[in-house]
Amino acid sequence: MKKIEGGVCAPQGFQASGVNAKIKNLKITKKDCALVYSEAPATAAGAFTTNVVKAPPVAWTEGVAIRGACRAVFINSGNANACTGSRGLSDVQAIAEKLSGELGISITEVGVLSTGVIGVPLPMDRISDGLHGCVAALSPGGNADAAHAIMTTDTVPKEYAVEVALSSGPVRLGAMAKGSGMIAPNLATMIVVMTTDARIEAEVIQQLLRECVGVSFNCICVDNDMSTSDAVVVMANGLAGNTPLLPGTADYEAFAAAFRALCVEVAQALVRDGEGATKFVEIRVNGARTDEDAKTIARSIAHSQLCKTAFFGEDANWGRIACAAGYSGVRFPQERLCISLGDLEVVHEGLPTGFDEAAASTIMKAKDIFIDVSIGDGAGSAVFWTSDLSHDYVSINADYRT
């Protein structure tokens, strides 16, 4: 597996575009409509927010993913089309219908996603201009424009691609993402579009996506607020010509490893670009009875406001880490708890080690902090990524809407 350029257009037969259509208001000059298109039919998979307050585009695109075929995904920023009721859903259908006509594909193969302010109907005239412009601008080099167009409070565009050698030759995977951690303007939207030219059945890639989401997008935290619009959509057009990938084969394992690595890379990028984030913190838990228990403990630490403010303060506050592990809901013997910050063990079998504060301070002052928590109760392990809770986080979110 090697990293390559090209984002969502890196795999064969994918085109993309991004244009400005002034979706949020007439003063907007940044690109705000994006389209990713596969020249050939593509199988599809998706993972979506479980929030019961679900934006109409998510409901629509979930239906597309369930059918297992998708050739185009249109995304606008500036307006989330959320809390817009039946009008919101008919607007999504109108977008899918128009794209279906312009691209000459079935309406059931068109995904539609939106991010931005909520409770405001889409400006459908400008959306029409945007999607028409996106179709006209489609190109095999349009990936960067698309990655820019979906940004909201993101400070950097996020696109990645890898190539992996299978027995039949190389296949490629690409991805673009938006989201400042789990959160973003108003409603914390994370949108990820992944492309590949591998041949893989919809059920197979759906299962793979489910597994990979569990160790990537479900293992990150900026503020634990789950959006009404979170979505990951995958398209696989098969143009690499490999034998369809099936679990249990070496080719599948190679592809799955690349797919998982791409998901983890994108997930980590979302945390690094978290709103107000000054730290990237990796929390590794081992020795739990099960992997699920380990994840619960890691999540509890990652979500703790007290831990996150301590990270911001560069304070080696092992007590808060022990405390958050303790209230996670997982029962474990506290007299076996060990905690290390980087290479420095700060708690050994439930008691502070009397560590060197200067050494701890050096570790906490780094941009990337690694925390190991050992429970001594089994073989379960998990990794979680989180950011710190800073003054900028409060500032960004205290006055977003007004």
Closer residue to its own copies in complex, CB, 259/393: 393
Strands 220-221 and 380-387: what pairing? parallel
154 binds its own copies (CB under 8 A): no
Site track 6-45 with its own copies (rule: CB under 8 A), x = hit: ----------------------------------------
Rounded Cα gap, residues 345 and 352, in angstroms? 9
355 binds its own copies (CB under 8 A): no
Q: Counting Cβ atoms within 10 Å, is residue 52 exposed (0-12), middle (13-18) or buried (19+)?
A: exposed
Closer residue to its own copies in complex, CB, 29/50: 50
Q: What is the DSSP string of 264-286?
A: HHHHHHHHHT-TT---EEEEEEE
Beta-bridge mates of residue 37:
15, 72
- Provide CB contacts within 8 A for 114, sequence distance 6+: 55, 57, 75, 76, 77, 79, 80, 81, 82, 122, 229
- The residue range among 51-59, 66-74, 133-141, 167-175 that interacts with its own copies, by the rule CB under 8 A, is 51-59
Rounded Cα gap, residues 196 and 235, in angstroms? 6
What residues numbered 159-198 form the site for its own copies, per CB under 8 A? 183, 186-188
Rounded Cα gap, residues 19 and 136, in angstroms? 10
343 binds its own copies (CB under 8 A): no
Query: Which tokens sit at 338?
Result: 């060990």
What residues numbered 105-144 form the site for its own copies, per CB under 8 A? 118-119
Q: How far is the CB of 279 from its own copies (least distance, A)?
A: 11
Closer residue to its own copies in complex, CB, 108/395: 395
Closer residue to its own copies in complex, CB, 114/390: 390
Q: Select from 143, 216, 317, 374 the one that contacts its own copies (CB under 8 A).
A: 317
Closer residue to its own copies in complex, CB, 43/397: 397
Site track 67-86 with its own copies (rule: CB under 8 A), x = hit: ---------------xxxx-
Rounded to the nearest 10°, the torsion over CA 63, 162, 146, 235 is -20
Q: Select from 223, 273, 282, 293 the one that contacts its own copies (CB under 8 A).
A: 223
213 binds its own copies (CB under 8 A): no
CA 242 centroid distance within chain: 27
Beta strands (DSSP E) in 70-156 are: 72-79, 110-117
Q: How far is the CB of 8 from its own copies (least distance, A)?
A: 28
**How many residues of this chain interact with its own copies, rule: CB under 8 A?**
64
Contact yes or no for 338/345 (Cβ under 8 A): yes
- The residue range among 100-108, 170-178, 250-258, 309-317 that interacts with its own copies, by the rule CB under 8 A, is 309-317
* Catalytic positions: 189
Task: Please report, in angstroms and rounded to a whole number, the separation of the first and last CA atoms in the chain.
Answer: 46
Q: How far is the CB of 51 from its own copies (least distance, A)?
A: 4
Beta strands (DSSP E) in 158-242 are: 158-166, 169-178, 191-196, 220-221, 231-236
Site track 370-389 with its own copies (rule: CB under 8 A), x = hit: -------------------x
Rounded Cα gap, residues 144 and 142, in angstroms? 6
Q: How far is the CB of 88 from its own copies (least distance, A)?
A: 9
Closer residue to its own copies in complex, CB, 26/398: 398
Binding site for its own copies (CB under 8 A): 49-54, 82-85, 118-119, 183, 186-188, 223-228, 303-306, 309-310, 312-313, 315-320, 322-327, 330-332, 334-335, 337, 347, 350-352, 389-391, 393-395, 397-402
